[in-house]
Amino acid sequence: MDIMDKLNISASMLLTGFTIVFAVLFFLIFLIWLYGRIITNAQTKAAKRKTLKIQSERNDEPIEKVPVKTDSKAPVLKKSGISDEVVAVISAAVYSMYGSSEKVKIKSIKKSSSRSAWANAGILNNTRPF
């Protein structure tokens, strides 16, 4: 065997190896894509079934609307750079949490510290004694 025959055999082996590797790679990519599509379709169908079940359990009764009372004697919150929309959202959250049976009064709304709640939780978790 001369050197040209050895180069031909080496080149054909290299080309065959690359072809097999890339064919298997594309096949795996297709399998993962197909699996993702199947799972996505199953999740959307499950979500639709869940919403239909919730709607059938409610019997499509209309939601009771609670009248909003406007009180001109309501205390004016001290301006601390918080917009009126944020104050309204916080008030609505407090009202929805406590309901109308209890008398709740918001005295003040302040911005929290410069750290986020996640940062505070991380600091507490990392500095907790054993």
Cα distance from N-terminal residue to C-terminal residue, the chain: 73
Q: What is the DSSP letter of 116?
A: -
Distance CA 29, CA 45 (A): 25
Q: What is the DSSP letter of 72?
A: T
Quick one: pLDDT at residue 69?
60
Q: What is the DSSP letter of 59?
A: T
pLDDT band of residue 30 (cuts 50, 70, 90) is very high
82: exposed, middle or buried (Cβ count in 10 Å: 0-12, 13-18, 19+): middle
pLDDT band of residue 32 (cuts 50, 70, 90) is very high
Distance CA 90, CA 105 (A): 12
Q: What tens digit of pLDDT does each residue of 47-104 get?
A: 898 888 887 776 655 555 556 565 555 555 555 677 888 888 888 888 888 876 667 7
Domain ranges, ordered by start, for the chain = 1-60, 75-107
Quick one: pLDDT at residue 64?
58
